[in-house]
């Protein structure tokens, strides 16, 4: 059988089906509308108790004693850093390949991020490199389950316990992911989920903080939910008139969507996982690493990124260009390396942190993370295929097949 000509060399595109139909997200239905309508008819669109229902649902699902809703995941992370008592000059071990909310809020408290390498299996923060970055000022670790791949929490917890470090677990990408059957979001001293509209359990905008420690919960509540401080029966009630100057309360209409969507999390994840695992198994035979997970690490797919190998004969941008010509929505990873951003490299970070001699003590312009940087250069990002038909998935596989079989000719034309 003759090899098909790829579109970039004059052939016909492989992917002709509608992306909007096959990659719809969020998936909203009548149940979501009815839940929102009920709150609206009740008339309380600022402090409706549906926020507490959502909190109870999260606490129960993740087997945590306390849950506190927020207006977004960034606020929940800010509240976590505050509740753990992070302050001026405290160092926090973080990853660079993440959304900025996992890192930047701590600077407002004077805490300083120390960027660490990722490990290459699950792309979580590397315990080996954390050992290299540990100092007497290290107080905490931020763990991010990137794109829905569980970080190596058992090893991270062991390291944290050895050095008396708190863990902030950012599980915003990982609703439903698990390690040895235990859900991500239940391993941290404090854990956080974003419920933003792209997330696996969306609310439009929203965040959730989880913890088993009442002290952390109370401090986070005092930080930004002024209306609930009045209900405390502890000495912290004295802060009710002011809170701590931040307002982080979740909007009830968002909570209504979040509660309805959480009930469908397992169903939505199963559909997305089935589709992505179908395409991943074929891509693995083509030489890509698709991070399928394992018996221990059950992953979910906030985003679907795969690692290509230069041996395929195409550089990253040429591969993306050829697949785009086939009609495939392929991009480079959307998260730039934080340690390389002007905010850090040019010293703007210290205007927030206000660390004495901070620009000399933490010269981010000299930070090098060769493993993380190399991994990022080998990534390409595919759609999440949340509502895809098998025909649509097969069109994508045909696009990859055509491009790889003609890699030498494509490389010669676009070298």
CATH code, 274? 3.90.1150.10
Provide, for the chain, the percentages of residues in helix, strand and coil under a 3-state DSSP scheme, each rounded to the nearest 5. Answer: 45, 15, 40
- Of 264, 299, 321, at which residue does a domain stop? 264
Domain for residue 62, yes or no? Answer: yes
| Among 188, 255, 247, residue whose Cα is nearest residue 216 | 188
Strand pairing class (138-144; 166-170): parallel
**Residues 218, 90 share a domain:** yes
Residue 124 burial (10 A CB sphere; 0-12, 13-18, 19+)? buried
Task: Kindly state whether residues 259 and 269 are assigned to the same domain.
Answer: no
Looking at the structure of the chain, the number of domains it has is 2
DSSP state for residue 69 in the 8-state scheme: E
CA distance 113 to 338: 10
Q: How far apart are the first and last CA of the chain?
A: 28
CA atoms within 13 A on the CB side of 97: 27
Given pLDDT bands bounded at 50, 70 and 90, which one contains residue 415?
confident
The pTM of the full predicted model, rounded to 2 decimals, is 0.96
Q: Is residue 365 part of a domain?
A: no
In whole angstroms, what is the distance from residue 222 CA to residue 246 CA? 9
Do 161 and 254 belong to one domain?
A: yes
Residue 355 lies in a domain: no
Chain segment 178-229, per-residue pLDDT in tens: 999 999 999 999 999 999 999 999 999 999 999 999 999 999 999 999 889 9
Residue 283 and residue 206 in one domain: no
Domain-embedded: residue 358: no
Residue 249 sits in which domain range?
A: 30-264
Residues 22, 59, single domain; the answer is: no
The closest alpha carbon to 147, from 166, 122, 113, belongs to: 122
- Pair 161, 100 in one domain: yes
pLDDT exceeds 70 at position 1? no
- Residues 117, 60: one domain? yes
pLDDT digits (tens, 9 = 90+) for 125-168: 999 999 999 999 999 999 999 999 999 999 999 999 999 999 99
pLDDT more than 70, % of the chain: 100
Look at residue 283 and tell me if it is in a domain: yes
Residues 283-342: tens digit of each pLDDT: 999 999 999 989 899 999 999 999 988 788 898 999 999 999 999 999 999 889 999 999
pLDDT at 2 over 70: no
Query: Rounded CA gap, 151 and 291, in Å?
Result: 12
Are 124 and 193 within one domain? yes
Is the CB of residue 125 less than 8 Å from the CB of residue 156? yes
Look at residues 247, 264, 281 and tell me which one is the last residue of a structural domain: 264
69 belongs to a structural domain: yes
Helices 252-262 and 30-42: crossing angle, nearest 10°? 150
Angle, CA 286 vertex, CA 282 and CA 290 arms, to 5°: 65
Query: Is residue 362, in this structure, part of any structural domain at all?
Result: no
Give the CATH number, domain containing residue 51. Answer: 3.40.640.10
The two structure tokens encoding residue 180: 């040895």
Same domain, 296 and 224: no
Residue 2 lies in a domain: no
CA pair distance 150, 180, nearest whole angstrom: 11
Q: Is residue 43's pLDDT more than 60? A: yes
Domain identity same for 325 and 408: yes
Q: How many CB atoms lie within 10 A of CB 234?
A: 11
pLDDT for residue 3 is more than 90: no
Sign of the C-alpha dihedral, residues 265, 268, 273, 274? Answer: positive
Of 183, 234, 236, 232, the closest CA to residue 210 belongs to 183
Q: Which of 209, 235, 264 finishes a domain?
A: 264
Same domain, yes or no: 209 and 70: yes
């Amino acid at each position: 059988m003759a090899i098909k000509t790829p579109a970039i060399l004059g052939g016909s595109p492989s992917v002709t089906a509608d992306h909007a139909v096959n990659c719809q997200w969020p998936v909203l239905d009548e149940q979501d509308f009815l839940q929102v309508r009920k709150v609206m008819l009740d008339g309380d669109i600022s402090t409706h108790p549906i926020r507490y229902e959502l909190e109870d649902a999260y606490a129960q699902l993740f087997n945590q004693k306390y849950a506190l809703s927020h207006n977004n995941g960034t606020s929940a992370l800010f509240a976590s850093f505050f509740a753990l008592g992070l302050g001026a000059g405290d160092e926090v071990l973080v990853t660079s390949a993440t959304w900025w909310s996992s890192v930047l809020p701590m600077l407002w408290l004077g805490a300083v991020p120390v960027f660490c390498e990722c490990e290459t299996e699950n792309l979580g923060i590397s315990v080996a490199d954390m050992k290299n970055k540990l100092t007497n000022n290290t107080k905490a670790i931020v763990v991010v389950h990137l794109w829905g791949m569980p970080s190596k929490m058992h090893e991270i917890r062991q390291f944290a316990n050895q050095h008396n470090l708190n863990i902030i677990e950012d599980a915003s990408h990982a609703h439903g992911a698990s390690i040895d059957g235990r859900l991500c979001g239940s391993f941290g001293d404090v854990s956080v989920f974003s419920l933003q509209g792209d997330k696996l359990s969306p609310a439009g905008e929203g965040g959730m903080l989880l913890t088993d420690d009442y002290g952390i919960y109370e401090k986070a509540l005092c930080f930004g939910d002024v209306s609930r401080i009045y209900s405390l029966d502890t000495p912290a009630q004295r802060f009710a008139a002011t809170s701590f100057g931040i307002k982080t309360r979740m909007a009830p209409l968002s909570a209504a969507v979040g509660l309805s969507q959480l009930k469908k999390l397992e169903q939505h994840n199963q559909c997305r996982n089935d589709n992505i695992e179908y395409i991943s198994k074929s891509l693995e035979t083509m030489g890509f690493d698709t991070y399928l997970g394992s018996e221990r690490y059950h992953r979910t797919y906030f985003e679907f990124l795969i690692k290509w190998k230069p041996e395929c004969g195409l550089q990253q941008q040429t591969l993306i260009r050829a697949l785009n010509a086939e009609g495939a929505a392929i991009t480079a990873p959307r998260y730039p390396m934080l340690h390389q951003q002007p905010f850090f490299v040019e010293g703007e970070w210290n205007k927030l942190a206000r660390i004495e001699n901070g620009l000399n003590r933490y010269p981010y312009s000299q930070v090098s993370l060769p493993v993380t940087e190399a991994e990022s250069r080998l990534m390409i990002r595919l759609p999440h295929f949340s509502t895809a038909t098998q025909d649509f998935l097969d069109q994508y596989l045909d696009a990859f097949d055509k491009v790889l079989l003609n890699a030498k000719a494509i490389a010669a034309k676009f070298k």
